[in-house]
Amino acid sequence: MTTDNIGGSVQVSVLGLGAMGSALSSALVKAGYETTVWNRSPGKADGLVAQGARAAGTAGEAVGAGGVVIACLLDHGSVREVLDPLAGELAGRVLINVTTTTPAESRELAAWAADAGIAYLDGGIMAVPPMIGHPGSSILYSGSADAFDQYKPLLDVWGTSTYFGEDAGLAPLYDLALLAGMYVMFAGFMHGAAMVAPAGVTARQFAAMAAPWLTAMTGAFEGFAAVIDGGDYTVEGQQSLVFSSLGDLLAASSDQGISTDVPAMVQRLIQHQIDAGHGEEGFARIIESIKQPG
């Protein structure tokens, strides 16, 4: 039986047993937490019950088990749908919502929770279900500092826990900003794979080249960040925007008969700064095209 840092056994109720809710619940059971689980559709709790969890027939019954409540549902709408009728039961308790939401939605949930007297902690999961409880899993939190401090040992069962502050919107903001980087990088990889495919190169062969290349290129982030934070894009040693022009890359893509959508997006950001008279300044300046669209 796991005990928390204020003494006594820790009761946890998890609402939502999709792929992620099941992984979170399983890790808690394995770590010795007294875990009550609930899912809208029946049948998903069976494997967890076999591991030692208790299944509740309704969300109200799960919340009624006492202790901290974890929501891992599909989206903001499903969280409100499940929790709205339970606000009275949750008053004076801690709610940790790891459902993916926008910053605005998280702030809206935090305001709803504050009105109901619920301590609210928002979580953004930077992992896929098989990673939960294993190295590399990271979860970002914001909202109630007291809730984060009290339940940190529980949160650490799932992965590295990082807290950003009382504004509940901060964790989802970081979460979605990191995903923005990931998706655009993935699109860049797909573009490269599509480029070499007509030459008979398989995606697997290309991946073997792209992974170490892109990993090495992340080393440039720190230098870009120093320039951006310093606000001076004329600092010596930077690759200029004119030099960074993607004309050859776009022409080669067209010659291969593929879409130019992905590099053309980057080229537009570069061209916007060149047109504004900043062609000799550093590549990091494209962030100004993003910060001030149009």
User: By C-beta, is 129 or 223 nearer to ligand NDP?
Assistant: 129
72: nearest Cα among 6, 10, 27, 8: 27
Q: Does 35 bind ligand NDP (CB under 6 A)?
A: no
- Residue 74 interacts with ligand NDP (CB under 6 A): yes or no: yes
Segment 92-131, which members bind ligand NDP (CB under 6 A)? 99-100, 125, 128-129
Tell me the residue ranges of DSSP E strands in the chain. Answer: 11-15, 34-38, 54-55, 68-71, 94-97, 119-126, 138-143, 160-163
Instruction: Supply the minimum distance, in Å, between the C-beta of residue 6 and ligand NDP.
Output: 28
Q: What is the closest distance, in whole angstroms, from the C-beta atom of residue 78 to ligand NDP in the complex?
A: 3
Nearest residue to ligand NDP, scored by beta-carbon proximity:
18
- Shortest spacing between CB 277 and ligand NDP, in angstroms: 42
In terms of CB distance, is 55 or 196 closer to ligand NDP? 55
User: Measured from the CB of residue 200, what is the shortest distance to ligand NDP in angstroms?
Assistant: 34
The single-letter code of the amino acid at 64 is G
Structure token digits, residue 70? 């974890």
**Cα angle vertex 143, ends 137, 147, to 5°?**
80
Is the Cβ of residue 73 or residue 116 nearer to ligand NDP in the bound state?
A: 73
Q: Contacts by 267-275 with C-beta closer than 8 Å and gap 24+?
A: 270/241, 270/244, 270/245, 270/246, 271/245, 273/241, 274/241, 274/242, 274/245
Q: Which amino acid is at 133?
A: G
Nearer to ligand NDP, 100 or 273 (CB): 100
Handedness of CA 91, 94, 99, 102 (dihedral sign): positive
The rounded distance, in Å, linking the Cα atoms of 25 and 38 is 10
| Shortest Å, Cβ 218 to ligand NDP | 21
Alpha-carbon span 119 to 149, nearest angstrom: 12
Using CB under 6 A, pick the residue from 78, 102, 160, 245 that binds ligand NDP. Answer: 78
Report if residue 40 touches ligand NDP, rule: CB under 6 A: yes
39 in contact with ligand NDP (CB under 6 A): yes
- Examine residue 211 and tell whether it contacts ligand NDP (CB under 6 A): no
Interatomic CA distance for residues 237 and 273, integer angstroms: 18
Q: Is 86 in the site for ligand NDP (CB under 6 A)?
A: no
Single residue of 10, 13, 14, 21 touching ligand NDP by CB under 6 A: 21
Closest CA to 224 of 248, 202, 245, 244: 244
DSSP state at residue 254: H
The span of 29-37, 71-79, 153-161, 188-196 binding ligand NDP (CB under 6 A) equals: 71-79
d(CA 290, CA 269): 7
**Per-residue contact string for residues 126-165; x = within reach of ligand NDP by CB under 6 A:** --xx------------------------------------
Binding interface with ligand NDP (CB under 6 A): 16-21, 39-41, 44, 72-75, 78, 81-82, 99-100, 125, 128-129
